[in-house]
Amino acid sequence: MKDVLEIFADSHYSKLEKGTTLFQDSDGTKYDELKRFTEFNEPESYTYKGGYHGLINSSKVNRHEVVEFCKALIESNLKVTSILINGSSINDDGAKALADYIHKTDDLMVLDIHYSHISEAGMENIIEALKANKSIMHLNVRSNEINPAIGDKILDLVTHHNSTIRQIVIVQPNAMPGSSKPSVVVQKEIHDQVIENAQAYISSLSPRI
């Protein structure tokens, strides 16, 4: 297999950039604890960009490209701290490849894969990988197949398996009425649990008297 940097250099649709791109939430504002994450760029780190993140034809970022990149990243020693692949067509094969990488990495802190044509099966792979991951803090999976069953699995994830996620977006803010999505109650429970986990983490950093 070619060196991972060569693979990205040959790509017309994805790129690997030095540094970490912080997660942006649905209203475009950066995470309010920005100063807490200045260490993202030390030591040298990279952001994997695809989809609408500065690219013209996001539909060309497909499952084959993501599968190849994820395999190369697993075999490399690159510190990839952000993966931004939205508005793409990675589908479930790409989601499975990402899940394999998520399961193995302890560097990745930002994952944005919204609107990437991922079905319920693909989301289940991502959720299962997140149970073992203790590095991802910012997660955006909206506009994939986030139905009530997946909503319940995400709630179980942040309640019982993963307390690292600090910010999560699971539903398109202006989703069409009647679209299949978790209930408002479950959405609020997920949001509240993530906040509780974040507050517990911040409290753990406070000096004890």
Question: For the segment 42-53, what is each residue's pLDDT rounded down to a tens digit?
Answer: 467 888 887 655
More confident position, 140 or 198: 140
Give the per-residue pLDDT at 36: 42
* Band of pLDDT at residue 179, cut at 50, 70 and 90: low
**How many other CB atoms are there within 10 angstroms of residue 173's CB atom?**
9
* Band of pLDDT at residue 103, cut at 50, 70 and 90: very high
> Collapsing DSSP states into helix, strand and coil, what is residue 198?
helix
Whole-number Cα distances in Å, 46 to 6, 69, 124, 177: 14, 13, 26, 38
Task: State residue 80 phi and psi, 5-degree precision.
Answer: -95, 115
User: How far is residue 72's CA from residue 9's CA, in Å, rounded to a whole number?
Assistant: 13
Find the range with the poorest average confidence among 49-58, 163-172, 177-186: 49-58
Give the per-residue pLDDT at 118: 94
Give the per-residue pLDDT at 84: 86
CATH class of 4-205: alpha beta
Average pLDDT along the chain:
80
| Residues comprising the chain, all counted | 209
